[in-house]
Amino acid sequence: MEKREVIYEGKAKRLYSTDDPNLVIAQFKDDLTAFNGAKKDTEEGKGALNNKVSTALFQMLAQNGVESHFVKMLDDTNMLCKKVDIIMIEVIVRNVATGSLSKNLGIPDGKVLPFTLVEFDYKNDDLGDPKLNDQHCLILELVKNEAELDQLRAMARQVNDILRPYFYAKGLNLVDFKLEFGRDANGKIILADEISPDNCRFWDIATGEKMDKDRFRQGMGGLKVAYEEVLNRILN
Ligand code: 5GP
């Protein structure tokens, strides 16, 4: 598979075209950003850890009937993916209140939600990823119709229903996470982006320790050790 030119560069990944128009290569970067790019750093090896965690999770989800853009891991930092048109909605799934939910609505940090909450954020750095309701999504033409919004919610819940018990069995509480979806060459909506400690919150069930990017957001240190531990629990 020949890696050609950069077609997109995001905060955590670089996308390359290939000699196959339906395939791209996602290169996982060591860059860390938070607060919409206001806080920046790099952590050597972080990209490889996220590539490995995402690979294992996309493979496990595929075995459970969730289709994604994942094709195969090429090497430590490169993943071969189906080319998709990304839907510019960040689908946020929450099992426990924390982060922006606690900040915006005053729900106590750590409160287990009575049911899983699915929210939509606008994937738009210039606007700071604001919250969207269904009507906003339609007015902005981010999806074709309400049925597609229902489809995004259903797919996000399906992913949560698989991942939450999977991580629980590994001693990790899946607090919340962000998913992105895209349309493949046939227009089918499939899971895209990555699933890693960069876009999930994992709390160790035994100790309550944060095992995710909040270590960077909150200046706690120990980010790489935490990401390695998440990967080890997945692989063991
Ligand atoms: P919050 O809205 O509380 O900041 O984030 C909720 C969940 O979605 C967290 O697991 C967080 O990591 C993830 N998330 C929300 N927005 C983004 C984003 O723009 N980038 C990344 N990497 N994760 C996000």
For 160-169, the pLDDT digits (tens) are 999 999 999 9
- The DSSP code for 19 is S
Q: What is the pLDDT of residues 97-145, one digit of tens each?
A: 999 999 999 999 999 999 999 999 999 999 999 999 999 999 999 999 9
Question: CB of 199 closer than 6 A to ligand 1?
Answer: yes
Mutate which of 28, 173, 178, 211 for ligand 1 pocket (most atoms within 8 A of beta carbon): 178
Report domain extents, the chain.
3-82, 85-222
pLDDT at 1: 79
Whether 85-222 and 3-82 are alike in CATH topology: the answer is no
Mutate which of 111, 172, 176 for ligand 1 pocket (most atoms within 8 A of beta carbon): 176
Question: CB of 129 closer than 6 A to ligand 1?
Answer: yes
pLDDT at 162: 98
| Residue 229 CA to ligand 1 centre (angstroms) | 20
Per the CATH hierarchy, to which homologous superfamily does domain 85-222 belong?
ATP-grasp fold, B domain (3.30.470.20)
pTM, entire model: 0.97
- The DSSP code for 223 is H
Fold of 3-82: Phosphorylase Kinase; domain 1 (3.30.200)
Q: Which of 183, 182, 180 has the alpha carbon at shortest distance from 194?
A: 180
| Residue whose CA lies nearest to ligand 1 atom number 20 | 199
- Percent of the chain exceeding pLDDT 70 equals 100
Question: CB of 176 closer than 6 A to ligand 1?
Answer: yes
User: What does the alpha-carbon distance between residue 214 and residue 236 come to, in Å, rounded to a whole number?
Assistant: 24
Burial (CB < 10 A; 0-12, 13-18, 19+), residue 208, is: exposed
Q: What is the pLDDT of residues 21-52, one digit of tens each?
A: 999 999 999 999 999 889 999 999 999 999 99
- Res. 201 pLDDT band, cuts 50 70 90: very high
